Chain A
Amino acid sequence: MSIEKDNLQLIREAVASLAAKDREKENAKLKEAERRAKEEEEAAARREAQLNEVITRVLKATNPRLPSNVTRYNYKEGAYKSIGITEHMVVHWEMPSYLIRADSEEAERQRSRALDYERSGSLTTTTSRRFSHSLDPDEQSDGDEDDDNDDEDDDGEESSTRRAKKEKNADASREGGGAAATADAGGDSKLLIQFNYIDRETQTLDTSFTSTRETMTVPPKRAGYSDSVTQWEIYDRCIEEQARLEAEKKRKAAASARQPAGGAQAQAAAEPEPLPDEPDELEITIKLENLEPSGGSGGKKKKTGGIGGKGGDDDGDAEEPVKEHDCSAISKVAKVMERMVTQNGVRDRIHDMVYFDDPRDGTAGYKKAGTLLHLWSVKGNYGFGIAVKSFCLCPRYSDMFVATYCSVDLIDKVGEGSVCLHTLKNPAFPDHVMDMASGVMSVDVHPKQCHMLCIGMLDGRVAVLDARRPSANAILCESPVLERHTDMVWQVRWQKDDPQRRLNFFSVSSDGFIAQWTVTKDALARRNITPIMQLKDKAKIPIIPEPWMEPEKQLNLARGSCFDFIPTLDNVYLIGTEEGIIHKCSTLYQQNYIRSFQAHNFTIYAVRWNPFQPRVFATCGVDCCVKIWDDERPETPLFVFDLDDPVIDFCWASYSSTVFVAGTMNGYAHVYDLDIDKYNPLCKQDVIPYSKNRLTKVHFVPSQMLLIAGDDQGNIHTYKLSPNLRRGVRKTSRQSQLRKMNEVIAWVWEPADMASGNKKKNKKGGRGGKGKGKKKTKH
């Protein structure tokens, strides 16, 4: 029982202790719990405090991997030394950029440069810019260094990289610059760095549509232009330039020359002007020049006045419509064309005219015969009854001749007339027509100034025409009303200019006077040369003046019908009268004649000196005879040819001293060559194809060996002489012609001498006796 008790006590004690422990534990726990709660509170409070605490953290740019004990051998001191590492920066990746600040100086510079280059607008300039950039890196980099202070760190690094890599980047910059330039070309300039253009381009992969899109616009309209330069274009321009310069010079000279005159006029006006205006001066000069008198022996004077006047006129003309030019210029061209067209039509005739050589003429039986080949006839278009009244060859142009037209009816003196210039080159129409108020009986062309024609008209007037003027104004000057002839003017002839260099001509008229007319500036001045006196002692029929007679007869004036000047002397001439008497006169003696010949019984139609032998002249008249006279033997003629019909006209050939043609009224032309046949004509041919017409005039045209014949209906017929008729053309010397004629004369006058030894006489079978015989030839 003690153990039990002990146990029990132990148990009690254990339980009691346990309980005490439990109580203690519980108390400890409670206390711990309390303590823990307090700790938690404190911890919470501490946490909060901690949370509110500002913790400073520091970032250091130090490279943790950098070794801190680097030693290097220092050559100066010859020992290893540890050096501190300065570089803590490690570059992981670097990409230089091309952006610079927009408001930096460099940007300004670039912008301005870009603008300049846009203006000049070509890639070449941008390349040059780039080249210039690469060539002057120092400049650029200096500039950049200045900027760097303002820029961000990026720029500073870039400039340094630039400096480091400047040569390598020169090429790169070119390439990059290309891209940059193209980017530049459009719109605003991108701010570019000079050296280092690196463009990174990306392209999106786009399969839905093509990345290039093209459009084509309508191409701009094009016109082709081509031109050529030829030698003559250059020449033309040079000539124009020269002319222009000369015109300017002239104008300046004229202006300066007239300056005093213009200035004086201006001062004479109310207000004194400091300087007269240029255009006014020019007007004055032109007007003054226009006032210069024109006309007179100044065909030349007129020209010079005209040039000055035309200077003003031309300006006016230029403003006129183009059609005006057409009118004036076309006449010249039309003339040329007309000639060609006509010549085409009459081509074979033209050939004949030039080349006709009748082969028959050389043959045996035909030595003394010749023919006239009809070439063409120019029709007169003046109506019925207008005849060709006179021919005159133009001395200068061998193909031109003047024909005058007059009414046939000389008594009533009606109708109009005209003067026409014909040319052999245009057989259809006259070249130039000048209509006159009355019939024109005769015309003469001045030997030196071929545009001056003097005409004598049916109503007694004489006039001087200028062929250069338009046909309406052709009359240069006319005989004054009081001084004209009172009867028709048969013939006019130009003579040498008088000592004052004025043109003058002579006229013979039926009123019995020969007048000399001088062409002065304004008009014709007349001077009577010789009233043609009728010589009573030679007259076969005494003339007793009776009141019913015409006034000329009362004054005993013979009516002159033709005259001719000696070719060698100026002042000796022959007059043929309507009474049949020929007077040889001189302009120096007005009262007396040198000699008179009783040539024909009736009117003498033509008296003509031989062009080579001044001793010989020929006459023809109504009494159907052609008489050839020797001046030294006025009693009898050398030859007399009886032609059976009134001989209207006569003409010596200017190529041979012994050839002449006589035309009779019935239309026959008789061509004689005294050298070959002294009795018979070489040719007697009807030259008026229209049988009803009568011959009025014949004339030789030596340039083409033609014979022209005019009839009383205004037609002109042209004939070509066959070779027999034109012998003597080859023997051109005057001496041989003279010799021929002298032989003929000698044959007539001294057949006795000839009889002794001359072949000619033997051939002819001699007539014997002195040359009294009138050798009649019958046809």
Chain B
Amino acid sequence: MAEIDEAIKKIASHKGVVGTIVVNSDGIPIRTSLDNTTTVHYASLIHQLTSKARSCIRDIDPADDLTFLRIRSKKHEILVAPDKEFFLIVVQNPSS
């Protein structure tokens, strides 16, 4: 438990990080630093996108797997690090 918190704290201390969310494989947020509605929103949407992305990569070559996903928008950047059981979402403002 403490490891998760430590790791998240380290990430959150970087400049420009708006929020961090840890979501388990069912799409339920385990840890978050944003408010509830935003968290749930992000979690569900990113979950779907990540599964789609992963399916895409693996369909091309089944031995391959998705390691990282980055979505750059005008306002910020969403970084998603997937894993077998959960994934980590970080929203960052890269310019600041």
A471 CB to nearest B CB, Å = 12
A269 CB to nearest B CB, Å = 44
Q: Which of A100-108, A194-202, A328-336, A416-424 contacts B (4 or more CB under 8 A)?
A: A328-336
Q: Is the CB of B7 within 8 A of A344?
A: no
A429 closest partner in B (C-beta):
B10
Q: Is the CB of B11 within 8 A of A326?
A: no
Interface size class for chain A? 20 to 34
B9 CB to nearest A CB, Å = 10
Bound-state CA distance A329–B87 (Å) is 10
- A729 interfacial contact with B, CB 8 Å: no
Give every chain A residue within 8 A of B84 (Cβ-Cβ): 329
Q: Is the CB of B59 within 8 A of A330?
A: no
Given contacts A326-B4, A329-B85, contact A232 B90 (CB under 8 A): no
Q: Which of B1-42 contact A (CB under 8 A)?
A: 1-4, 7-8, 10-11, 14-17, 22, 24, 30
Given contacts A329-B83, A330-B22, A338-B10, contact A232 B62 (CB under 8 A): yes
Give every chain A residue within 8 A of B82 (Cβ-Cβ): 333
Q: Is the CB of A333 within 8 A of B10?
A: no
Give every chain B residue within 8 A of A325 (Cβ-Cβ): 85
Q: Which of A299-354 contact B (CB under 8 A)?
A: 322-323, 325-338, 340-342, 344-345, 347
- A548 interfacial contact with B, CB 8 Å: no
Give every chain A residue within 8 A of B10 (Cβ-Cβ): 334, 338, 429
Q: Is the CB of A338 within 8 A of B68?
A: no
Bound-state CA distance A182–B28 (Å) is 53
Q: Is the CB of A338 within 8 A of B11?
A: yes
- A231 interfacial contact with B, CB 8 Å: yes
B22 closest partner in A (C-beta):
A330
Give every chain A residue within 8 A of B58 (Cβ-Cβ): 230-232, 235
Bound-state CA distance A496–B2 (Å) is 41
A329 closest partner in B (C-beta):
B83
Bound-state CA distance A340–B2 (Å) is 22
B8 closest partner in A (C-beta):
A334
Q: Is the CB of A330 within 8 A of B11?
A: no
Give every chain A residue within 8 A of B83 (Cβ-Cβ): 329-330, 332-333
Q: Is the CB of A340 within 8 A of B86?
A: no
B3 closest partner in A (C-beta):
A327
Bound-state CA distance A428–B94 (Å) is 15
Give every chain A residue within 8 A of B79 (Cβ-Cβ): 337, 340-341, 344
- A77 interfacial contact with B, CB 8 Å: no
Contact pick for B59, options A232, A328, A344, A345, CB 8 Å:
A232
Give every chain A residue within 8 A of B62 (Cβ-Cβ): 231-232, 234-236
- B81 interfacial contact with A, CB 8 Å: yes
Bound-state CA distance A467–B16 (Å) is 31
Contact pick for A341, options B2, B11, B59, B86, CB 8 Å:
B11
- B73 interfacial contact with A, CB 8 Å: no
Q: Is the CB of A337 within 8 A of B1?
A: no
Give every chain A residue within 8 A of B11 (Cβ-Cβ): 334, 337-338, 341
- B55 interfacial contact with A, CB 8 Å: yes
Contact pick for B94, options A235, A323, A338, A345, CB 8 Å:
A345
Bound-state CA distance A200–B3 (Å) is 83
A325 closest partner in B (C-beta):
B85
Give every chain A residue within 8 A of B86 (Cβ-Cβ): 326, 329-330, 333
Give every chain A residue within 8 A of B92 (Cβ-Cβ): 341, 344-345
Give every chain A residue within 8 A of B43 (Cβ-Cβ): none
CB-CB contacts of B61-85 with A at 8 A, as 1s and 0s?
Answer: 0110001101000000101011111
Q: Which of A414-444 contact B (CB under 8 A)?
A: 428-429
A431 CB to nearest B CB, Å = 12
Bound-state CA distance A235–B63 (Å) is 8
A342 closest partner in B (C-beta):
B14
Q: Is the CB of A326 within 8 A of B59?
A: no
Contact pick for A327, options B1, B16, B67, B70, CB 8 Å:
B1
Known: A329-B85, A332-B83. 19 other contacts (CB 8 A): A230-B58, A234-B62, A325-B85, A330-B22, A330-B83, A333-B81, A333-B88, A336-B68, A337-B88, A337-B90, A340-B79, A340-B81, A341-B14, A341-B92, A342-B14, A344-B16, A345-B14, A345-B15, A345-B92
* 27 A-B pairs whose Cβ atoms sit less than 8 Å apart in the complex: A230-B58, A231-B62, A232-B62, A235-B63, A236-B62, A322-B24, A327-B1, A329-B83, A329-B85, A330-B4, A331-B7, A333-B86, A333-B87, A333-B88, A334-B4, A336-B67, A337-B79, A338-B7, A338-B10, A338-B14, A340-B81, A341-B11, A341-B14, A341-B90, A344-B92, A345-B15, A429-B10
Query: Which residues does A use to contact B, with CB under 8 Å?
Result: 230-232, 234-236, 322-323, 325-338, 340-342, 344-345, 347, 428-429
Query: Which residues does B use to contact A, with CB under 8 Å?
Result: 1-4, 7-8, 10-11, 14-17, 22, 24, 30, 55, 58-59, 62-63, 67-68, 70, 77, 79, 81-88, 90, 92, 94
